[in-house]
Amino acid sequence: MNKGKFITFEGGEGAGKTTQIKLLQQKLENHGVQILVTREPGGTPSAEKLRDLVVKGDLDDWSAMAELLIITAGRYEHVQNLILPALEKGVWVISDRFYDSSAVYQGIAGGLGLEKVRRIQQEVLGNFAPDLTLVFDLPPAVGLARAGKREADTASGEDRFERKGSQFHENLRQGYLQIAEAESRCTALDATQSIDQIQQVIWSKVETLLP
């Protein structure tokens, strides 16, 4: 049995990842691929409890290092108990965020530095990495407006990072572009394009992973 592929979607707040994940799931299932969609922070019952700690509440509840350690603890559970078992069964896994979010949110925008974040991820995950990472690039003002509308519609309370200042979100954008340029598994997408245009670009990359 062939192992499954691991695809991650990355980007700032309100970049449109959720819509494209659903479209990609449908397209892959139409090609006979079994799909598991998950997210970070979270993905398993225990990791979802940790998610609530960092995505809700006051801005000063946690330092960047505390955020990183909480999220990484959840990531270990997520990978060991959900992602790896699915991949071993030949299931493709699509995750809304993975460790590149830690590199950008806590490492670059949070000020910890990329190397510190990478050392911790290496210690916890070893050499495990996505097969493909799709990075959604969008001006922060546009993304935050979308995210604000989503929060108003859902009242989830998951807006702690959205409430950080404009410079934080600009740093996120530049951080994602930096990683996308440096990592061969990454593809940066212009998220201001239409849904159909973005879907076509995504499929052109994902199609190469099909057996």
Q: Is 175 annotated as a binding residue?
A: no
In the chain the first and final C-alpha atoms are separated, in Å, by 12
Q: Is 14 annotated as a binding residue?
A: yes
Q: Is 16 annotated as a binding residue?
A: yes
Q: Is 17 annotated as a binding residue?
A: yes
**What is the CB-side half-sphere exposure of residue 36 using CA atoms within 13 A?**
21
Q: Are 139 and 16 in contact (CB under 8 A)?
A: no
Nearest to 8 by CA among 32, 24, 31: 24
Q: Is 107 annotated as a binding residue?
A: no
Residues placed in the known binding site: 11-18
Residues placed in the known binding site for ATP: 11-18
